[in-house]
C-alpha cells in the first residue's frame, strides 16, 4: 500500500522566540494486502532526500543541503519508531532508543545548535517515493516541506528486518545560517540582541543579524510557490485525511491545489478567485481554504488551498487560474498539471455491484470511483491466488497468474466486483 501514516511538526515562530509542536497524520483504512518487500535502506534514504529536493528544484526553490546533526536526529527517531512500533513525534523516556521527547530535543542531542527545526515523518511506507507522495498530498505537511525559510535537512530511514511493514521515514529541517550563528561566540557588544533561539538558551545573537537570518532564505526563494507546480505530471488524483484533518467531513476528496505568497515580497494578499478547470469546464464542487477558514488554524495569511471535493480523474490535464490582489492591484496567475497516468489496463467501477473481465498474467488497475464523500474501500476480501497491491484507498493493481480460475469476487464493506477471467 502506498499510503502510510504521516506526521508533521510545523516550523517554530522565530519572530516571537517561541516554539510549538503540532502533530498531523494521514490515516489509511484497514485493508488486506501483500507483504511489503524489504527495502535497500541506504538507497531509500538517498531517494527520499532526492525526491523532496526534486520537487523544490522544479519549483525553482532552494534545495535543502545535508546536515549531519539533522541526519543523526532523524535517523535516531526513525530507529526509535521502528524499535517501539510507534508513530509519533514525541518519544517516551525509558523506551528503547530514546534521545529526546520533542524533535527540538533530539536535534539538540545530536549536536544541532539552532532552536529552529521542523519534522515530517511517515511510517508503514514501502519506499521513499510513497513516503514523499503521502506527505505532499497532505496540505499541512506540504507547506512544511515547501517553507521558504528552511535550507537544510536530515533524513532517517529504518525498516524492521523481521516485519517489513514496520518502517519509518523521518525528515528534520532547519536554517543553516541560524545554526552557524548559534555555533560561534555569543554576542557581547552594545546594542539589541535576541536569545533563547539556540541550544544554549543564554547564547546571544545581535538583533540585526537575527533579522537577516529570518529573511535570507526567503529572499532567495520564489515570490510565489504553486503545488502541483506548473507542468507537473503524475499528480495523485485523491486526498484522504490528516490529523488534524482539514476536511473532517470527507473521507475521500480530490488532490488539493495550493499557492503560497512569500511574505518577504508580499505584505498583504487577497484572493479574488481560485478556479480549477478540467479541459475548458470549471470544476465547481470545491472548497477554498485560507487562514480564516482552515478548521485547524494552521494556515498563515499567505497560504491558500483549493480542495476539489470529488476525486480528480486519472490521466487528465487540469489548469488553474488564481486572481489575487496585492498593493491595491489585481494580478492573475495560470498554470496546469497532469494527473497520474496508469500503465495498466484501467477499469473504472461506478456502481455498488459490477462485473469486469481480466486477462491472466496481465496487470489491471481497478478504480472504485467514490459514490459519496465516505466511500473508500475497506476490509477487502479476495482469493489468495490474486495478487493485489493498493495504490490508494480506492484503487488497487490486480494481477492473476492462475489459469485454472475462471471467475471470482472481490468484496469490500460497500462494493462487490465480479471478476471473469479470460485465459486466452
What is d(CA 92, CA 338) in angstroms, rounded to the nearest whole number? 43
pLDDT in tens, 132-158: 999 999 999 999 999 999 999 999 999
Written in H, E and C, the secondary structure of 218-236 is HHCCCCEEEECCCCEEEEC
Q: How far is CA 127 from CA 25, 122, 136, 157, 375, in A?
A: 18, 11, 15, 10, 27
- The pLDDT assigned to 27 comes to 35
Q: What is the maximum alpha-carbon separation in the chain?
A: 86
Q: Residue 132: which of 150, 152, 157 has the closest Cα?
A: 157
For 110, the grid coordinates are 545530536
Average pLDDT of every residue of the chain: 90
Q: Which is more confident, 4 or 151?
A: 151
pLDDT in tens, 162-174: 898 899 999 999 9
Q: How far is CA 152 from CA 176, 322, 345, in A?
A: 6, 31, 41
What is d(CA 276, CA 335) in angstroms, rounded to the nearest whole number? 10
Residue 182's SS3 state is coil
For residue 138, the tally of other CB atoms under 10 A from its CB is 27
- Poorest-confidence range of 16-20, 119-123, 250-254, 282-286? 16-20
Question: Considering the chain, what percentage of its residues have pLDDT values greater than 70?
Answer: 91
Q: Residue 22: which of 246, 223, 190 has the closest Cα?
A: 246
| Contact present, 242 and 25 (Cβ < 8 Å) | yes
Q: What's the pTM value of the predicted model, to 2 decimals?
A: 0.88
Amino acid at each position: 500500500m502506498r499510503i502510510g501514516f504521516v506526521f508533521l511538526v510545523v516550523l517554530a515562530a522565530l519572530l516571537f522566540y517561541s516554539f510549538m509542536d503540532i502533530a498531523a497524520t494521514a490515516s489509511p483504512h484497514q485493508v488486506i494486502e501483500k507483504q511489503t518487500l524489504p527495502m535497500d535502506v541506504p538507497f531509500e534514504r538517498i531517494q527520499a532526500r532526492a525526491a523532496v529536493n526534486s520537487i523544490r528544484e522544479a519549483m525553482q526553490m532552494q534545495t535543502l543541503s545535508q546536515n549531519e546533526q539533522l541526519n543523526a536526529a532523524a535517523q535516531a527517531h526513525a530507529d526509535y519508531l521502528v524499535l517501539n512500533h510507534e508513530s509519533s513525534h514525541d518519544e517516551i523516556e525509558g523506551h528503547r532508543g530514546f534521545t529526546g521527547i520533542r524533535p527540538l530535543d533530539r536535534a539538540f542531542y545530536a549536536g544541532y545548535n539552532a532552536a529552529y527545526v521542523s519534522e515530517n515523518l511517515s511510517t508503514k511506507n514501502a519506499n521513499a517515493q510513497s513516503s514523499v507522495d503521502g506527505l505532499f498530498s497532505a496540505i499541512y505537511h506540504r507547506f512544511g516541506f515547501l517553507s521558504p525559510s528552511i535550507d537544510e535537512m536530515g533524513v532517517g530511514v529504518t525498516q524492521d528486518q523481521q516485519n517489513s511493514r514496520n518502517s519509518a521515514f523521518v525528515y528534520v529541517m532547519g536554517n543553516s545560517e541560524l545554526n552557524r550563528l548559534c555555533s560561534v561566540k555569543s554576542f557581547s557588544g552594545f546594542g539589541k540582541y535576541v536569545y533563547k533561539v539556540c541550544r544554549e538558551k543564554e547564547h546571544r545573537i545581535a538583533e540585526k543579524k537575527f533579522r537577516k537570518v529570518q529573511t535570507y532564505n526567503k529572499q532567495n526563494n520564489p515570490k510565489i510557490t504553486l503545488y502541483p507546480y506548473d507542468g507537473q505530471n503524475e499528480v495523485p488524483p485523491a486526498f484522504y485525511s490528516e490529523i488534524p484533518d482539514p476536511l473532517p467531513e470527507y473521507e475521500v476528496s480530490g488532490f488539493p491545489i495550493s499557492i503560497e505568497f512569500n511574505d518577504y515580497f508580499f505584505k498583504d494578499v487577497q484572493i479574488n478567485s481560485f478556479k480549477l478547470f478540467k479541459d475548458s469546464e470549471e470544476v465547481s464542487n470545491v472548497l477554498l481554504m485560507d487562514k480564516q477558514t482552515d478548521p485547524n488554524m494552521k494556515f498563515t495569511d499567505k497560504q491558500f488551498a483549493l480542495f476539489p471535493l470529488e476525486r480528480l480523474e486519472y490521466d487528465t490535464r487540469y489548469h488553474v487560474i488564481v486572481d489575487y490582489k496585492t498593493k491595491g492591484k489585481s494580478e492573475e496567475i495560470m498554470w496546469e498539471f497532469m494527473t497520474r497516468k496508469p500503465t495498466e489496463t484501467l477499469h473504472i467501477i461506478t456502481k455498488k455491484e459490477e462485473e469486469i473481465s481480466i486477462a491472466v498474467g496481465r496487470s489491471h488497475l481497478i478504480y472504485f470511483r467514490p459514490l459519496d464523500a465516505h466511500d473508500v474501500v475497506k476490509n477487502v476480501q479476495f482469493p489468495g491466488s490474486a495478487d493485489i497491491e493498493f495504490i490508494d484507498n480506492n484503487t488497487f493493481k490486480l494481477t492473476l497468474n492462475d489459469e485454472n480460475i475462471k471467475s471470482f469476487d472481490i468484496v469490500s464493506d460497500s462494493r462487490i466486483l465480479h471478476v471473469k477471467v479470460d485465459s486466452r
